[in-house]
Amino acid sequence: MPLLHLTNARVIDPAAKRDAAGELFIRDGVFVARPSAADLKKAKKIDAAGLVAAPGLVDIHVHFREPGQTHKETIETGSRAAAAGGFTSVVCMPNTAPVADNAGTIQLIKDSAARSSCIHVYPTGCITVGMKGQSLAPIGSLKRAGVIAITDDGDCVQSNELMRRACEYAKMFGLPLMDHCQDHSMTVGAVMNEGQMSVKLGLKGWPNAAEDLIVARNCILSEYTGAHIHMQHLSSRNAVEILRRAKARGVRVTGEACPHHIALTDEALATYDTHFKMNPPLRTEEDRLAIIAGLKDGTIDILATDHAPHTPDEKDREFDLAPNGILGLETALAVSLEILVRKNKFKLATLVDLWTRKPAQLLGLPAGTLAEGAPADLVLFDPEAEWLYDAKKGFSKSANSPWSGQKLRGQVKATYVSGKLVFDGKKIVA
């Protein structure tokens, strides 16, 4: 690979506390120190004037649907959507068909990623066999197979005793547990947030308490066992406060927020549009502001998309019957720029940190930095560029996005993985 010399960019690297105009040098797929004058003369120059250069974005919560649900997404199409959104590393959830509860399925996912992905794809394994919440999956075997965390995402382990044992095994094998926090007994038949809007629309409500109880349970079990438990897609103001208090005691718990939960509320469901139906549901303005406050003070550690593709036929149904979930990878940067940087005065470097260093550090991924010797995973974006997002013309196999047809501000201009250009701002080139 030729030496690459990136010039005139605003370089943001939170891992090095760097935010200044500067240069970057890439050789053989890694970032390197400034080469000799002779080497620079032969380098391929990339003029990044007006652009931000940051570590490739990291998303530790995506659903690529392979194996078994490839009519919705594949590792290939999901990775392309990720690259178009500036993401160079993603972590796939195990609720595939069959679920990823054994070493064979993990190897299948790794093999497919090696063949077809244009970015780094990391697998997770299930906490329980079949994701049924009845018996533990072979956590040691999953670890040896290469999972970086265990989770029953898309579901939630209801048995406190089983979750306790999972914590003990996870700690033994050095694996974080990622939990979808939902008390099933409180959400039977629920399809949206419980509140004024659910009453107005005549839809079964989903109370905050269903999330709060499990977040509290997990904080207790983490403190009891010493395991690291990560709370996925937080949506409730009370859950944020529970997490805040646990962290103040030094409990090994972390949390994530999704762009849709900081940008939207249950008011968006007024027209029964299933593109706003998700799990956990969109909640109230008070909840939305609490999530943003949690990101600002560090209670919530990272951002993640919960990218969840579904086909048009699946979403084009009665609200009660349509599946939960939306696309997130191609719009995540623009939406989070709008809500956090422009409307809530986050520093741009803080936002970059939420998408790079912090998620990489949380799961121990070799990503999230522009340091010499690190893999040359890089995103170039224009934080002010406006563009029209059309999900049907996007890179995902599905098109279930609430932002389709809207003008967004903040556009990815190039994505590099291990020094190789994979997205040029318009098309995948890998």
* The pair of three-digit structure tokens given for residue 278, joined into one six-digit string: 């998700």
Distances (CA, A) of 271 to 50, 293, 367, 394: 40, 29, 41, 24
Tell me the C-alpha to C-alpha distance, in Å, between residue 238 and each of 61, 235, 244, 294. 22, 9, 10, 11
Give the relative orientation of helices 237-248 and 209-225 as an angle to the nearest 10 degrees.
Answer: 20
Residue listed under structure tokens 């646990």: 246
Are 420 and 375 in contact by the 8 Å Cβ rule? The answer is no
Residue whose entry in the numeric block shows the structure tokens 């990622």: 178
Check if 306 is active-site: yes
C-alpha distances (whole Å) from 43 to each of 35, 39, 51, 277 are: 10, 6, 20, 49
CA–CA separation, 125 vs 127, rounded Å?
7
The residue among 335, 264, 259, 248 whose CA lies nearest residue 302 is: 259
Catalytic position from the list 152, 306, 353, 377? 306
Nearest to 231 by CA among 145, 291, 315: 291
Residues serving a catalytic function are 306
